[in-house]
Structure 1
């Protein structure tokens, strides 16, 4: 009997309903992503209260994004082997500790360890790579891109819901108390994780696989399309995290009120609900590489027009609405492409590696924003870099081959490998 026939079929492995997977997964992503999208609102309150430079705050958030990428690889491996439930619970606990530490850190170093390392590790266990692994295991291939779009749209709705809430908490309670309230709120992820408890992971042993972790990694990293998807995702991270963290301060530097920034980030989240859902749905019918190339080139155009136009609240809201349609719409399409090419057995892990590239871009975007601002007094250079990278990402996604990879032979693995 071949190793393929010894693997459990989709119907045998499917123990969670579509509604359960999407409801619990989307709620978890809503909380996790919603909170982190508002971190830019704390830049000025924290740096002014602590007497820190913007680079200090930006470096901590840059480390957060890098830690998210690094830990995301191992969170994906753990979720593939032990199931998503345990990983999400640990991530929720780390998130609560990180937010509390972010509020109480007296030094830049401790702030970097809590806001950076702890929260980065927490996000690795409570966001897309882990949740998409569950979707991949329990949603048929013909609906997978759509389902991933729904989960990504939930993260966008979280931004729309949580960013104004965080702004209200800061203005009414102060920045420290606001973080402590969020520290308690994020623990709601733990009961939601109960809805993602999967069969087949008892004792830490997943179903028999046709590839080891090492074989899956060697196959992926030798495949040019995987490398191209990673390059494009680097750009995605650079653009969205630079804008998400630094745009509130950019707007205040230009004389606009803090409320404009809060509304702008909320609009990004609101319109990305539609953008991510549409991208996921289109991914079932249109070549994913064409969708990705269109998103990246459209981002460059929108940023260029925003910089060229006279700045006003109206122009900010138009920019935010258009950017929102493109914001996380790369996420379901990219992850669905990975699942389509390599299958679902190591999907969380491979998504983690793809996302690591995204987070290197995030690190560069948020850190360069603070570094170049402190030295030039302007964000202009980083805006121009974001435009150029968008064109680059559009070009590198076009040669991606989306067909399932042709494997010459299957390796029969021992039980529990």
Structure 2
């Protein structure tokens, strides 16, 4: 039986090719998704909806992404990430394109919500990070997770102004179709990540037990540090989804030009390249739990300052840059802690469960943003909730224990 990265395939799949392909997948997948906030106003106005209708579809997208992620991760752990990424990319792209023709609340929930949400579970940076965890040597995993997350941020930086340009040049419907076509590159790129299923990953420690799926789940849910990590990742999702979806209409309400919203989202993506890569590198040098606590505390501070000062183009861009540094810089230390606690055998599934918590937070951030706006005409309550949750997350990460989790095995029975 072959050890290492089983099914590594032809010699062209070198570590450099694997990293490059995975980063491009993360770039496209996260980039296309980050444009959805730009369509909130045009799509709602064209169909005569309140913002809560489209917000519910995007909230459903986030929730289903999270619900499907552990299953997508488990399939990738068992059969390899390539097929999962390819299938997810096709479904994701179809959902984006069909959003353009969804003229009822039910259709928008099926396309932008269900199809894109489930597609994201297969074609997101989460599967890429888990694949890197199995296919890269231990000393490069934190770096690889950081560069994959940074690539997703580069996608946000590139696709946010691209989405705005598509809307201005071709109209919002054609823009959605073009963005859906962009996703067709994912199945091709996924061929570079074939393999990496089952077996022991390169450089894995023999001391890490090879648990069944059920045993791994019992181990994880019986480990307090993992539960704290899962709870904290909920807050990341709440912040990221609320700001991505509701910052553009929030700026439109105060009379800002549409281009400011596009550049605000792009600036978040640009600075997140620095933040994510730095978090990945720092994770090789210092405790990851402290990195996470500081990130969430600074997020709470950034939001508090933003809503306390008069809104202007300068304040929006400064806030976007600050949040960009803290945006998905949570992902490398979070995935690194999961790998530290449980190894890489079930990394896709266990990081997927943590990501489900992230997406529950995303669902609530998007949905509650729309609900509170329709009821009060303001986003103030959600901004304050984001501050409180940032403080909560800073606290719960501090006591996490960074060492392998105790193994809990059921006695075998005949």
Q: Is the 8 A contact 1:73 1:349 kept in 2?
A: yes
Alpha-carbon spacing, 1:333–1:13, altered in 2? closer, same or farther (3 Å): farther
The equivalences for 1:257-272 within 5 A come to: 257-272=257-272
The answer for unaligned runs of 5 or more in structure 1 is 1-5, 413-417
Equivalent residue in structure 2 for 1:38, among 16, 35, 40: 35
Spell out, residue by residue over 1:143-184, the C-alpha distance to the aligned partner (whole angstroms, 9 max, x if none): 211110000000000000000000100111111110111111
- What count of residue pairs does the alignment treat as equivalent? 401
Spell out, residue by residue over 1:264-291, the C-alpha distance to the aligned partner (whole angstroms, 9 max, x if none): 0000000000000000000001100000
The answer for unaligned runs of 5 or more in structure 2 is 201-208
Equivalent residue in structure 1 for 2:162, among 156, 165, 169: 165
Give the corresponding residue for 1:3. Answer: none
Give, in whole Å, the separation in 2 of the partners of 1:366 and 1:77. 27
Give, in whole Å, the separation in 2 of the partners of 1:223 and 1:98. 37
Give the corresponding residue for 1:78. Answer: 75
Give, in whole Å, the separation in 1 of the partners of 2:373 and 2:291. 33
Give the corresponding residue for 2:244. Answer: 244
Equivalent residue in structure 2 for 1:207, among 199, 202, 222: 199
Give the corresponding residue for 2:255. Answer: 255
Q: Is the 8 A contact 2:272 2:328 kept in 1?
A: yes
C-alpha RMSD over aligned residues: 1.7
Q: Is the 8 A contact 2:215 2:408 kept in 1?
A: no
Q: Is the 8 A contact 2:77 2:345 kept in 1?
A: yes
Q: Is the 8 A contact 1:13 1:138 kept in 2?
A: no
Alpha-carbon spacing, 1:223–1:103, altered in 2? closer, same or farther (3 Å): same
Give, in whole Å, the separation in 1 of the partners of 2:232 and 2:249. 27
Give the corresponding residue for 1:334. Answer: 334
Cα displacement (A) at 1:10:
3.8
Give the corresponding residue for 1:153. Answer: 150
Give, in whole Å, the separation in 2 of the partners of 1:381 and 1:17. 49
2:227 aligned with 1:235, yes or no?
no
Equivalent residue in structure 1 for 2:182, among 181, 185, 198: 185
Cα displacement (A) at 1:409:
7.0
Query: TM-score normalized by structure 1?
Result: 0.93
Cα displacement (A) at 1:338:
0.3
Spell out, residue by residue over 1:358-381, the C-alpha distance to the aligned partner (whole angstroms, 9 max, x if none): 000000000000000000000000
Runs of 4+ in 1 over 4 A off after TM superposition: 11-16, 408-412
Give the corresponding residue for 2:205. Answer: none
